[in-house]
């Protein structure tokens, strides 16, 4: 017969744990020897092994008790359920590992992949870091508030826009003009190129989607609270808006049409 320490060591738990299971009624109190020590038999080894296996699978102890008292069929069903939970947990851990791999990158951590990739490209193309950060932050807030909408928006145009080098180049040039004066000749040039790019786009609902997404009053406050307007961008915005109306492009709403300029 085994002492509590020998039993505990064999199944890989502490003596405190065994006594705790006694107090819960999970494991019956065994008989005592002359000096009052608990003495365990093979049956206890088996029962404790079962408890420990289930507990280490994360099954709440109350549930473990239920399972051990249940009939053969109910027990088997319960164990099958536990097994399914473990498989789910393994999938969760697998997904978690890929999240951990992105833990040092704020973009990948809080944004859909398409956007994170686009922002990284923009950053690497030489756009000023401080403004790229602000740009990213506004997207993070938008995504946090309207995950479904942002995702839907991105899905519809991921290939046409956010991975289009031409579009990303326009963004970079815009960000580079952050601290330029409003009458910098590059502003006018960028406005013209932006309009050209828009004209080349097949689907004009791109802009409408954007308008729909940010027609919300609160969303606008969020974006503008993060985003800073500079003289050059104000001018750029004016020029693009004017050009669009001239060419009959863009949304019918009076919303600011160019994502690049929020």
Among its own copies, DNA, none, residue 36 binds (CB under 5-8 Å by kind): DNA
First to last CA, the chain: 77
Q: Among 35, 71, 72, 254, which residue interacts with its own copies (rule: CB under 8 A)? A: 72
Minimum CB–partner distance for residue 174 and its own copies (Å): 20
Among its own copies, DNA, none, residue 148 binds (CB under 5-8 Å by kind): none
CA distance 198 to 207: 9
Separation in Å, CA 108 to CA 98, 120, 130: 11, 10, 18
Per CB under 8 A, the segment of 89-97, 121-129, 158-166, 181-189 that binds its own copies is: 89-97
In the numeric block, the tokens 């744990």 are attached to 17
Give the 3-state secondary structure of residue 2: strand
Among its own copies, DNA, none, residue 34 binds (CB under 5-8 Å by kind): DNA
Compare residues 4 and 178 and give the one whose CB is closer to DNA.
4
Quick one: tokens of 93?
Answer: 């851990």
How many other CB atoms are there within 10 angstroms of residue 234's CB atom?
13
What is the footprint of its own copies within residues 30-59 (CB under 8 A)? Answer: 41-43, 45-46, 49-50, 53-54, 56-57
Quick one: tokens of 30?
Answer: 């065994």
CA distance 168 to 171: 5
Quick one: tokens of 178?
Answer: 């952050």
Number of residues that bind its own copies (CB under 8 A): 50
Minimum CB–partner distance for residue 121 and its own copies (Å): 20
Instruction: Tell me which residues touch DNA (CB under 7 A).
Output: 3-6, 13-17, 19-20, 32-38, 55, 60-62
Q: Among 62, 70, 74, 96, which residue interacts with its own copies (rule: CB under 8 A)? A: 96
Quick one: tokens of 218?
Answer: 């609160």
Is 81 a binder of its own copies (CB under 8 A)? no
Give the CA-trace dihedral at 142, 242, 194, 124, to 10 degrees: -40
Among DNA, its own copies, none, residue 35 binds (CB under 5-8 Å by kind): DNA
Of 221, 122, 220, residue with least CA distance to 174: 122
Q: Among 23, 36, 97, 248, which residue interacts with its own copies (rule: CB under 8 A)? A: 97
Contact 251, 207 (CB under 8 A): yes
Quick one: tokens of 124?
Answer: 């690497």
Compare residues 37 and 189 and give the one whose CB is closer to its own copies.
37
Is 103 a binder of its own copies (CB under 8 A)? yes
Compare residues 109 and 166 and give the one whose CB is closer to its own copies.
109
Residues 6+ apart with CB under 8 A from 175: 122, 127, 128, 131, 132, 135
Binding stretches for its own copies (CB under 8 A): 1-2, 6-7, 10, 41-43, 45-46, 49-50, 53-54, 56-57, 72, 75-76, 79, 82-83, 86-87, 89-90, 93-94, 96-97, 99-101, 103-104, 106, 109-110, 136-138, 140-141, 143-145, 147, 222, 225-226
């Amino acid at each position: 017969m085994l002492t509590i320490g020998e039993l505990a060591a064999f199944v890989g738990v502490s003596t405190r744990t065994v006594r705790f299971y006694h107090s819960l009624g999970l494991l019956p109190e065994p008989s005592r020897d002359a000096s009052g020590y608990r003495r365990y038999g093979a049956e206890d080894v088996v029962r404790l092994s079962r408890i420990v296996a289930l507990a280490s699978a994360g099954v709440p102890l109350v549930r473990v008790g239920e399972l051990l008292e249940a009939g053969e069929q109910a027990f088997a069903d319960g164990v099958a359920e536990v097994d399914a939970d473990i498989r789910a947990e393994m999938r969760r851990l697998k997904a978690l590992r890929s999240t951990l791999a992105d833990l040092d990158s704020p973009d990948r951590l809080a944004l859909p992949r398409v956007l994170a990739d686009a922002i990284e490209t923009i950053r690497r193309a030489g756009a000023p870091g401080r403004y790229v950060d602000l740009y990213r932050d506004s997207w993070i807030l938008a995504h946090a508030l309207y995950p479904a909408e942002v995702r839907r928006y991105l899905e519809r145009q991921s290939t046409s826009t956010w991975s289009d080098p031409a579009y990303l180049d326009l963004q970079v040039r815009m960000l580079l003009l952050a601290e330029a004066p409003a009458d910098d000749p590059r502003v006018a040039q960028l406005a013209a190129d932006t309009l050209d790019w828009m004209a080349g786009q097949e689907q004009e609902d791109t802009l409408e989607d954007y308008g729909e997404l940010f027609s919300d009053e609160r969303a606008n406050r969020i974006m503008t609270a993060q985003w800073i307007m500079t003289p050059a961008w104000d001018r750029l915005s004016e020029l693009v808006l004017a050009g669009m109306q001239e060419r009959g492009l863009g949304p019918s709403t009076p919303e600011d049409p160019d994502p690049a300029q929020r």
